[in-house]
Structure 1
Amino acid sequence: MGQSTLPSGTGPLTLAIIGCGQRGRAYTDYALQEPTACKVVAIAEIRPKTRNLFAQAHSVDKTLVFDDWKELHKASAETIKAVGTRLADAVIVAVHDQMHMEVVLAFAEQGYHILCEKPMSTNIDDCIKMEAAVKKASIIFGMGHVLRYSPYNTALTEIIRSGELGPLINVVHVEPVGYFHFAHSYVRGHWAKEEDSCFSLMTKSCHDIDILCHWLSPSGPSRVSSFGSLRHFRKQSKPAAAGAATSCLECPYEKDCAYSAKKIYLDRVARGEKGWPVSPIVDGVPDIESVEYALRHTKWGRCVYESDNDVCDNQVVNLEFDDGTTASFTMVAQTALICERQSRLHFASGEIVGDMSSFTVTDFRKGTVKKHSPGLEGGGHGGGDLGLIRTFVAAVRTGRQELLGTDVSEVLKSHLTVFAAETSRREGRVVDCVAFEKEARERVSL
């Protein structure tokens, strides 16, 4: 279709949303908060109630509400052919992970600027094809690595870049996923089985590897090793008191089980809590009847020890960068904290210790200790969701990819580092990151 162009006019940037679930809503809340900045004008969503509620919230014209992305893409092609304009300035891709490449390639070819939810895709070949398509289309491309865009990480990154503590030598970074979060998403949920999505280091923690690469840039990963397993959420760990029960609503151990679906979903909606994690298990606004039905008749009520999940619930990654800097990352399910990362950054002349809401800077030379508490914004990931969509809108408006602080090739490199780490875990070897990328690119014929 040719190269993309900058949005015309001075009105809000127009967006087409593909996937109106949790992540689609997270990014488009900005359009409701700042209607002069951007506006949702077209949507595609397979779930009827979710689709209708989203369309109503954003006052989307009925002619631009579609059941799936292919219908939207077809309507876009017809509009481009008839009048030479697209349906929107940009597309937000928030469908299931394994669909990302197909959707991105289709809309990049039509010249849309694209914000794609993480991960880029679920296999190496698709990621490389996406890089080529984005480059060919010369579009603005944003990736859902939201950690980069929170006020906390923005402030922390500024100190790293300033050099005031000397060179960064080592980073220790932990993602506490959260015990019921992991049960929801990675045991019962969409990301439970690798064949249906991808391995958990990619689906949950690719933006943690990305933020490590961001902090340590311009140095790049040279070697990686990794260890991990599905340690707890398996039949061998099932409490004896649960007996032969496979459903939480019929389990004699349910009241004592940390992973009870009744506690995680039904008790929450009974208290009037209708957001995550309750909202994803039903189509439309959750209530007691719809949630109980989901627990009795779908995977959401299944015992976590009797589920068909197979992704790691704990994993460690060790990275060596080409300047000798090292980093370690731990992803673990069994935590009380829910995704509230903890980081220790060690410099030649100081140290930073933080927890996603505040961080303390110790300067060895000055003998000072200073606490920083960047203002938290609304939205998920400490304001990272809002920060990303706001930055993406600005980048599209001005035609400046650099505002996003990354580009599609850098996005690909951080994903390749995640793939290399998983290769290390599976094969029990240290992986050369440079050779790994070279082999991957040679394998994909474009």
Structure 2
Amino acid sequence: MNRRNLIKTLTLSLGGAIISTETLGKIADDTFLYKLPANPRHQPLKKTVTAITLGAGNRGTVYSNYAVKFPSDLKIVGVAEPNTFRNDKYTKTHNISQDNRFNTWEDVFKRPKFADAIIISTPDDMHYYPCMKALEMGYDILLEKPIAPTEKECRDILALAKKQGRIVAVCHVLRYAPYFVKMKELLAKGAVGRIMSVQHLEPIEHTHMAHSYVRGNWHNSKKTTPILLAKSCHDLDIIKWVIDKPSKEIVAMGGLTWFKAENAPAGSTNRCTDGCKVERECPYSAIRQYHDKMGRISVLDVPNELTEKSEKQKYILEKLKTSDYGRCVYRMDNDQPDHYIANIQFEDAVTASFSMEAFTAYHGRRTRVFGAMGDMVGDMEELVVTDFKTGKQTKFKPQAEDVEGYKNSGHGGGDWLLVKDFVQAVAHQDPKMLTSTIDDSIESHIMGFMAEKSRKTKKLEKIKI
């Protein structure tokens, strides 16, 4: 397909999203700006969809903030959160009645069903049981990834969802990002001809790695989930989604190399606040990250009444003296790999290579697609398609609005687009509104489980769906 025909035929339905030529705006020679149009499948709601959130942390807050912006579409009527600070804050944000505040997810299900849906944003290892209980009680579910920590549990949820006839939307939010929607559309329309192979890089960014997977909630795979599922199941899912063929086998390698005691610099201490002699020059300094730059401090639960920067910094410094976020990155009980590669064979001899890297100064996925008639290169800021026949390049730049208060989330504006489709799906009881139902998302999870098995056994593993 040459460049002229490619531009003329850009109209394709992709489950919950549609791109058309009317959304393209030429901003320079061979460069087009675009955004997703309104989904024509969406219909006016007869009533507001109600939901209960299990887990009022970062992800639970991101999804539920849609209700603050669009109260006629979604109303949060209950919350379960053992952290008092977060429970209080969440309750106030959504004006939740005291009767509908709970300490644990189990408490929610002691009551008869009192909402349309459940948002499950508990820790990774606490997805399975609340999801199964919610399905038993007839709730539709917005389920944060990963689906569950084991293959069996993922399959159990899928089976029960089918049996109960309930909607389970997995939060593979990249499927809703305009950047990846356009990537899939272009490839399906033959922009590079027959797809031969894909290279995909997830650069975690070094301080994000230290924050989430060395010091943070996901530092220990045995207590949560392996990093390939906790962080990169998005990426396996996107690779599978754009190739759009069954996966057959996978081989993986990687491990924890740098964030270990043997690499601790001379003069370092157990905590950055213990008088560490190299703290000022350490790229992973907790004092620099949280106190000086005040980055990623939502995990420290800074009280709202602290409005002055100096007050917040004083509070943060005290938190660093007692929480894992103040510990030396070389002296944590972490076991997550800091670099990881996986090679995947798909049907029709299509191959894909995936690389997860902690040691980058940047984030934002990078993807290269190699086809018989062209290639595609993208970095989430733009897609560049080169036509081998003409040598011409065409660039596509997405216009995407990130969630308010969570700019540069790395999800390309997909978070609220997912919630919007989920609300429509629940209101009209139509899972076709979604592109990430559990039926669609299960394969990439199996890929992840087999990759971990391969990494540990050092053998190629078959993928059986």
Q: Fold match, TM over 0.5? A: yes
* 1:141 paired residue number: 168
1:100-145 per-position Cα deviation (integer Å, ceiling 9, x unaligned): 0001001111111001101111112211111112111111111111
1:70 aligns with 2:99: no
SS at match of 1:192: coil
Residues in 2 aligned to 1:9 and 1:333: alpha-carbon distance in whole angstroms: 43
Q: CA deviation at 1:236?
A: 1.6
Q: CA deviation at 1:18?
A: 0.8
* 1:316 paired residue number: 341
1:345-372 per-position Cα deviation (integer Å, ceiling 9, x unaligned): 1111111111112111112224321110
Match of 1:365 among 366, 389, 411: 389
Match of 1:268 among 293, 296, 308: 293
SS at match of 2:232: helix
The one-letter code of the counterpart of 1:259 is: Y
Q: Percent identity?
A: 34
Match of 2:57 among 21, 46, 52: 21
Q: What is the TM-score when the length of structure 2 is the normalising length?
A: 0.85
Listed as ranges, the gaps of 5+ residues in structure 2 are 1-43, 307-311, 404-408
1:22-421 alignment, distance < 5 Å: 22-75=58-111, 77=112, 86-217=113-244, 219-242=245-268, 245-250=269-274, 251-269=276-294, 277-282=296-301, 284-285=303-304, 287-338=312-363, 340-379=364-403, 380=409, 381-421=411-451
Structure with the bigger percentage of helix = 1
Contact 1:171 1:328 in 2 (8 A): yes
Contact 1:178 1:334 in 2 (8 A): yes
Q: How many residues align?
A: 410
1:228-264 per-position Cα deviation (integer Å, ceiling 9, x unaligned): 010111112112242xx11101211100001111011
Residues in 2 aligned to 1:121 and 1:290: alpha-carbon distance in whole angstroms: 35
Contact 1:261 1:300 in 2 (8 A): yes
Q: CA deviation at 1:330?
A: 0.3
Contact 1:43 1:65 in 2 (8 A): yes
Contact 1:192 1:309 in 2 (8 A): yes
Q: What is the TM-score when the length of structure 1 is the normalising length?
A: 0.89
1:298-339 per-position Cα deviation (integer Å, ceiling 9, x unaligned): 21111000111011000001001021100000001111113x
Contact 1:231 1:312 in 2 (8 A): yes
Q: CA deviation at 1:406?
A: 3.8
Residues in 1 aligned to 2:237 and 2:47: alpha-carbon distance in whole angstroms: 33
The one-letter code of the counterpart of 1:370 is: T
SS at match of 1:320: strand
SS at match of 1:323: helix
Contact 1:282 1:291 in 2 (8 A): no
* 1:444 paired residue number: none
Contact 1:151 1:377 in 2 (8 A): no
SS at match of 2:248: strand
Residues in 2 aligned to 1:413 and 1:358: alpha-carbon distance in whole angstroms: 28
Residues in 2 aligned to 1:134 and 1:60: alpha-carbon distance in whole angstroms: 28
Contact 1:20 1:44 in 2 (8 A): yes
Q: CA deviation at 1:9?
A: 7.2
SS at match of 1:297: coil
The one-letter code of the counterpart of 2:286 is: A
Residues in 2 aligned to 1:49 and 1:239: alpha-carbon distance in whole angstroms: 36
The one-letter code of the counterpart of 1:258 is: P
Contact 2:179 2:398 in 1 (8 A): yes
Runs in 1 of length 4+ with deviation above 4 angstroms? 283-286
Contact 1:180 1:259 in 2 (8 A): yes
Q: CA deviation at 1:165?
A: 2.7
Residues in 1 aligned to 2:192 and 2:426: alpha-carbon distance in whole angstroms: 35
Residues in 2 aligned to 1:108 and 1:284: alpha-carbon distance in whole angstroms: 36
SS at match of 1:378: coil
SS at match of 2:149: coil
SS at match of 2:106: helix
SS at match of 1:194: coil
* 2:461 paired residue number: 431
The alignment yields a C-alpha RMSD, in angstroms, of 1.7
Contact 1:282 1:290 in 2 (8 A): no
Q: CA deviation at 1:267?
A: 1.3
Q: CA deviation at 1:293?
A: 2.2
Q: CA deviation at 1:419?
A: 0.5
